[in-house]
Amino acid sequence: MPQKEESFFRETIRFALITLAIVLPIRIFIAEPFIVSGASMEPTFYTGDYLVIDQLSYHFEEPKRGEVVIFRYPYDPAKFFIKRIIALPGESIDVEGERTIIRSNSNPEGTLLNEPYTLGAKYGSYVKTLKDNEYFVMGDNRSASSDSRSWGPLPKKYIVGRAFFRAIPLSKAGLFPGSINTNF
């Protein structure tokens, strides 16, 4: 009987080590859980929404306008924020009231950004030209969001990843939640 107990114990330890060897790298380098807290992304995300973050893709491709990203707050990297990418490196952004215009070298007149995901509140004015590796991010609930309008462009190095999967609430579960193709 002692040999069976020792064998069971050895197999349990072996199973746990193999599981850790598989799960930990995935958790650390590929996907990370994130629970939304706050009203800045309403109506797209609400407090308590459970997301899985894709931490790998941005090592191979650049973030795109309309994607929802999770990042470390530049002035306190221990805090994580969730916002939508509005403008890309090298572009200029002009926010006035409810309108957002994106300008670039190839489109100096600019394009009015269609933002059906916002709550429609007026949200002040802001004009900025982004440098390389800078992104302009805003919450969908503009009147309740601390974002690039408050603390400036987001350096790429602070981006952790994009919202890959919403698990909770189950009624809204799905891949790439909140992402909207707004490239022009």
Tell me what pLDDT residue 76 has.
Answer: 93
What confidence category does residue 90 fall into, taking pLDDT thresholds of 50, 70 and 90? Answer: very high
User: Across residues 110-135, what is the average pLDDT?
Assistant: 82
| C-beta of residue 136 within 8 angstroms of C-beta of residue 153 | yes
**Rg (alpha carbons) of the chain, rounded to whole number:** 21
In the predicted model, what is the mean pLDDT of the chain?
84
What domains sit in the chain, N to C, each tagged with a CATH number? 2-171 (2.10.109.10)
Residue of higher predicted confidence among 29 and 58: 58
**Is pLDDT above 60 for 29?**
no
Stretch 58-62: mean pLDDT, rounded?
A: 88
Q: Which pairs from 110-115 meet CB under 8 Å and 24+ separation? A: 111/184, 113/86, 113/182, 114/182, 115/182
Nearest Cα to Cα of residue 32 among 11, 7, 50:
50
Q: In this predicted structure, what is the pLDDT of residue 183?
A: 61
Known catalytic residues? 40, 83
95: nearest Cα among 117, 57, 122: 122
- Starting at the edge strand that comes first in sequence, how are the strands of the sheet with 107-112 ordered? 107-112, 99-104, 92-96, 125-129
Query: Span 67-88, mean pLDDT?
Result: 93
User: 10 pLDDT exceeds 90?
Assistant: no
Phi and psi dihedrals of 59, rounded to 5?
A: -80, -15
Q: Where are the alpha helices (DSSP H) in the chain?
A: 2-25, 148-151
pLDDT of residue 151: 92
